[in-house]
Amino acid sequence: RLSGNAARLSVQTEIALQVKLAGFTVFRLRHDIAEEWANDRLQRLTSRHDRNGTVTEARVMAEGGALMAEGPEGAARLPANAAPLTWWNGAHFARPLIRPLTCTLIPGAAARSAVPNGGVQFTLNGAVEAVARYDAAGRWVALATKGEDGSAVTYELIG
């Protein structure tokens, strides 16, 4: 969910998955991310990830000319122009990217390529392997990545 405007934007991401087998829950995942932006600069991010009861929390806060991060790997100073890899804004691929789960920088850069009908896709290879596609209007329409077990995971816009 996005609310506000370019001067003050709030973004809420909620992911909830549950897999059942023979009536029993065999896998449960919940990931909540809250972002606050001011004039296209990240001001604050909080992330809470619960996978089968194992909880990971991380946060980022703008301070002066940097972003200060705290996560499971400790504290870190990140570039002021960094953006979380939360997929909703393809323009963020031109910036240093932050992994929301740990609030650490993702090494490397995304490769940009054109797709039919004026769209664009970004390919990440390395710590994160994924292909994200956006239409000509900049709307996120697809994501292909791999699960932790190596299985294919595909998200596609419906409607």
What pLDDT is recorded for position 114? 96
What residues form DSSP beta bridges with 56?
A: 49
What pLDDT is recorded for position 101? 92
CA atoms within 13 A on the CB side of 32: 5
pLDDT, tens digit, for every residue of 49-60? 999 999 999 999
Query: Which uninterrupted H or E stretch holds 3?
Result: strand 2-4
Question: What are φ and ψ of residue 117, in 5° steps?
Answer: 65, 25
Rounded CA Rg of the chain: 16
pLDDT, tens digit, for every residue of 88-128? 999 999 999 999 999 999 998 899 999 988 999 999 988 88
Q: Enter the pTM of the model.
A: 0.88
Q: How far, in Å, CA of 155 to CA of 132, rounded?
A: 9
